[in-house]
Amino acid sequence: MSADGGPEGPVHYGYTAGVAERFAANPVPGGRYPGRVIRVDRNLVLVADGGGTTHLPYPRGGELPATGDWVWLGSNAAGEPAIVGVVPRHSELSRKRAFEASSEAQVLGANMDVVGIVVPVDRPLTHNRLERTLVAAWDSGATPLVIITKADIADLADDVVGTVVRQSAGVDVVTTSAENGDGLDELLGHLPPGGTLVLLGPSGAGKSTLINALAGAATQEIGAVRAGDGKGRHTTTSRALVPLPGGAVLMDTPGVRGFGIFDAEDGMEEMFGDLEELFEQCRFSDCAHGREPGCAIQAALADGVLAERRWASYLKLQRELAALARRHDAAARRAYQREWHQKIAVAGKSQRSAERDSQENARDRGGKGSQGGKGGRRRPR
């Protein structure tokens, strides 16, 4: 039951005793019963509650909901059903928005327990894409999991699996074949009871086929993959939750062509922990890892302990984070300057107003004095 004795939450969409405790710890005025955001459309939000699903308008104030959010449901001023609050997220997967000039984050999903990075065996493995997605997955607060799809292509699977395991830096790797049903139980075994798994991967990676196999029904449209370049069309056009028979929940996402990281310092530490250990072995604490004597990074590169590709990938991600931080700081400086100029303008207006009032008061006092005397201004003797 909800905090005030209302209906149960949406069990088919991951509502558990632990989620109920989060609602109880985060009450909001007017919040009557719990719900979960299944999908966010352009004008409406599809929400599941204990009785089913319904489309609701965006909340008028506060935080905007994302797919996977737990929300308090109640009524608006007109007495209509409405979202009245968003429960704080325990995980959030974000990326930098597609246009490079922006420093804003785009929330891809909320309250997931496992981030599944889908890697198909029938196309070349993009190492930088895998690493940057793993960085974002670690930084989300969820547990990363690499999911290899289309493993029934036996002549390719072994090489891809070995390469992925080496590049995943300790992250578990599951090999699946949706066509044959292989690896599905192992995949579900990584989810806690009622847990949520979000799938990330390029178009044509086999996400929709995998979801259909896990759900036991054709819940997702499947598109053909072009033979020329191995690319598929985007059969998934929006992020949405898909309930599974065992109580877990899947979050499908559109094919992600690029994954510009937003703010992933924690994720960088998890993904490149081996480099952090090398940094501590450098002779100088401020080593730039170039030509300085005693540089552990350069020594590892020379000995082959550290791959040139991995070091280049780390540097590229660091440059991206630094550039994003500069854009963010520039935006913050502009906002501060606007606020400061506004304060100066208000203060100046107040000062001018005060001076004008002072002059008017002085004139009033002078006028009263001339009216009070019979002979006007008195001459000094």
307-318 confidence digits (pLDDT tens): 787 777 777 777
pLDDT, tens only, 169-227: 778 999 898 888 889 999 999 999 999 999 888 777 778 888 889 988 655 554 444 44
**pLDDT confidence tier of residue 350, bands split at 50, 70 and 90:** low
SS3 of residue 213 by DSSP:
helix
Report the alpha-carbon distance of residue 251 to residue 376 in Å, rounded. Answer: 89
CA angle 319, 121, 239 (to 5 degrees): 65
The DSSP bridge partners found for residue 148 are 119, 175
Q: What percent of the chain has pLDDT over 70?
A: 65
Residues 6+ apart with CB under 8 A from 250: 196, 197, 198, 199, 211, 214, 215, 241, 242, 243, 244
Residues 6 or more apart whose CB falls under 8 angstroms from that of 147 comprise 116, 117, 118, 119, 173, 174, 176, 187, 199, 210
| pLDDT tens, residue by residue, 288-330 | 888 888 898 888 888 888 878 777 777 777 776 666 556 555 5
Q: Report the candidate in 57, 51, 53 with the shortest Cα–Cα distance to residue 75.
A: 57
pLDDT tens track for 102-127 = 446 678 899 999 999 888 887 766 66
Name residues whose C-beta falls within 8 Å of residue 240's C-beta, 6 or more positions apart in sequence. Answer: 38, 39, 46, 67, 251, 252
Helix (H, G, I), strand (E, B) or coil at 278: helix
Query: What's the pLDDT score for residue 161?
Result: 78
Segment 146-153 shows an average pLDDT of: 82
H or E element, residue 269: helix 265-271
Average pLDDT over residues 139-145: 90
* Pairing assessment for the beta strands 92-96 and 81-86 based on DSSP bridges: unpaired
Locate tokens 């992250």: which residue? 171
Task: Please report the pLDDT score of residue 225 as a whole number.
Answer: 45
Residue 334, token pair as written in the block: 């502009």
Cα–Cα distance measured from residue 48 to residue 70, given in angstroms and rounded to the nearest whole number: 10
Res 229: pLDDT:
41
End-to-end CA, the chain: 94
| DSSP state letters, 25-40 | HS--TT--EEEEEEEE
Q: What is the pTM of this model?
A: 0.65
